[in-house]
Structure 1
Amino acid sequence: MSNSQEASDQPRIGLITGGSRGIGKATALDLARAGGDVIITYRDNRDEAETTVKEVADLGRRAVPLALELGDARTFEAFADAVAATLQETWGRDTFDYLVNNAGSQRAGSLTTATEEDFDALVGVQFKGLFFLTQKVAPLIADNGSVVNISSGMTRFYVPERVLYSATKGAVEVLTRYLAQELGGRGIRVNTIAPGATATDFSGGLLRDNPAVQQVVASMTALGRHGVAEDISGAIVALLDDANRWVTGQRIEVAGGVHL
C-alpha cells in the first residue's frame, strides 16, 4: 500500500466477493500482505472461508467472512446491513475502502445449445448480481476508494462454448465505465481486470488439473505458460492502490499476452 496508508491509523479494508477460494482468496491474502484487512464473501462453504480467514490472520491482519448469494438480489439489502454492522463491530468504521467484484459462475454453451435457464443464471449472477450488489454497498465505500470488477479475456477473443459467460462479462466492462463516471464525483475509481486462462477450481478445475489443456494455453501465450491466481491478485491489489489514483474506467487484461 502507499505511504499515505502507512501513515494512517486505520488499515484499508477491502470487500472481496468470492474471497474464500481462487482469485478472490489470493486477492485477500495479497491485500493482507500489503497491510490491509478484508471482508470476504462465500456462497455455501463456510469451512473454505474460515481457512482464508485463518491465513489472513497468520499474516497479522483481520478478516471476516459473510455469506452471500449473488444470484438473489433480494438478499442484498440485508447483506449491506451485515457489512455495515461488521465494519462497526470489527473496525469501528462506517465505510470500507475497496470493493472487488470477483464472485461469478460458469456455464458452457453456444448459440445453439444454451438454454434460457443458462441465460438467466449467468445474467443473474454475473451482471444483475454485480450491478445491484454494487448499488447496495456503494454508500459504504469510502470517498476516494476503489472498485475492481473482474471480467475475462474472452471479451476480446473467442473461446468455443463460452458465449453467455463472455457476453455477461462484456456487460460488466461497459458497466465499469458508467460506474467510473457516476462514482467519480466521490473520488472513487472503478476499473476492470480481465484475466486470461487461470488455473483455479473454476470450470471444474479444467485448466488446473489438465496438463494437455495447460500446454495448449501456454502455446498461445506470449509468456509461455498459463496463469495462476496470484498472477491476477497481484494486479488487482496494485490497481486498488493509491499509486494508481489517476486510473479509472479502464479495462486491463492480465493474461500473459494470450492471442496477441
Structure 2
Amino acid sequence: MADTNTRTGSGEKHAKLYRMVTPEHICPFGLKSKALLERKGYTVEDFHLRSRESTDQFKAEHNVKTTPQTFINGDRIGGYDALKKYFGLDVADPDEKTYAPVIAIFAMAFLMAAAARIALSESVFDVRTLEWFIAFAMCLLAVQKLRDLRAFSNQFLGYDLLAQRVVPYAYVYPFAEALAGVLMIAGAMIWLASPVAIFIGSVGAVSVFKAVYVDKRELKCACVGGNSNVPLGFVSLTENLMMIAMGVWMLAK
C-alpha cells in the first residue's frame, strides 16, 4: 500500500508519516508535516502513498478522511493542523479576517517607489517617493482585482453604492484604478488620471463609510481581490482617501 522512502533526523523520538506522493501530486501538507517533525527532532519514517487507490485504502483502514497522517509512539496525531496543535503551535483559521494582504501590498509599493528613486540617484524620502508609493499601490491593488475579475465583482457589489446601481462599474473599476496608477507613475495625462482617481476614490470612500459606520455591516473588502478575508473598514477607507488625495495633489501640481 505504501512504501518507506527514507528515515531522517536523529534522537529517540520517532514518528511515522503517511503522505500522498504520486507522479501527478505531491501533497504539500505532507512535506510540511515532515519538515515540522524534523524541526522538533523526530526520526521520521516516511511512507509514500503512491496512487489514489492506495491512498483511499489507507484512509479506509484508518477511518480518516484526509492525508497526510502522522503517528507518534503508535498514537495517531492526524493531519498537518493536528500536528501543529500537538506541538502547541497556532493553527490559522481560514475564515479569520486579516489585513496581511493589504500590508504586504503597501509595503511592497513603498519599497518599489524607494528603489525607483534610488535608481535615479535621488533622495528616497521626498514627495516623488510618496507619489510613486501611492501610484504603485494602486497598480498592485488593481492586479489583485484583475486576477479574478468575477470574484472581485461579486464581493465589490456587496457594498459599493455605484456598482449596485450600475453593475458594469464593478468590472470597470480595476481597469480604472490601474490606468490612473500607471499614468501617475509616468507623470503623463494627469488631466485624465487625476479625475479618475478622485472619482473612484470618492465613490469608494462614501460606500465604505456608509456600509461600515452608518449601516454597521461586517463585510469583507474586495480591495485585494475577491474571496479575501480583509475586513471592510478603516484600511479600506484609507485606500480610497489616498486615491482622492493623490488625484487632487497631482492636479494641483
Q: Give the TM-score of the pair, scaled to structure 1.
A: 0.25
Q: Which has the higher helix share?
A: 2
Q: Give the TM-score of the pair, scaled to structure 2.
A: 0.26
Q: Which has the higher strand share?
A: 1
